[in-house]
Homo-oligomer: A and B are copies of this chain.
Amino acid sequence: MDFFDILVRYEVKLWDAVDTALIREGQVSAAQLQALAVIHRHAGAGRVVDVSGSIGITVGAASKLVDRLERDGLIIRLPNPADRRSSLVVLTDAGAAAYDSATRVRNRTLERLLDPEATASASAALATLLDRLEEATAEVDA
């Protein structure tokens, strides 16, 4: 297996393990948790386009993902006072609680499945590769 195959296989399996653990324990899905994390990080100032950019899905998909989170009562869209084209997406109390408890399950699951040394080494290498990739794709887009 070359690097690309290992990367893809490992990511798929680890994502699935986290997602399965979340669902089994009655939490939001891994995809929903990813969105809640972005919204949490933006602390009241996040828009749909921020969700889209941070998790690598199209704006249309992000809009629908936010629809579902809103339907489930985890977020609300507030009018953006600075720009009437967009809404600000903010966590409800239920959303903040769901984020906290899902994050705990996620982290507990990862602790169980990861090896500290290999994780640190992979993190460093992937950070280098990510920098290079973001440079390279910025060039192509320009």
The chain A residues found within 8 Å of chain B, CB to CB, are 1-4, 6-18, 34, 55-56, 106, 110, 112-115, 118-130, 132-134, 136-137
Contact = CB atoms under 8 A, between A and B. Distances in A.
Nearest to A16: B56
A118 B125 contact: yes
Interface of A is mostly: helix
Contacts of A6: 123, 126-127, 130
Contact of A8 (B15, B118, B125, B133): B15
Nearest to A1: B127
Given A123-B3, A125-B122, A128-B115, A137 B10 contact: no
B18 A11 contact: no
A120 B18 CA distance: 26
Contacts of A126: 3, 6-7, 10, 118, 122
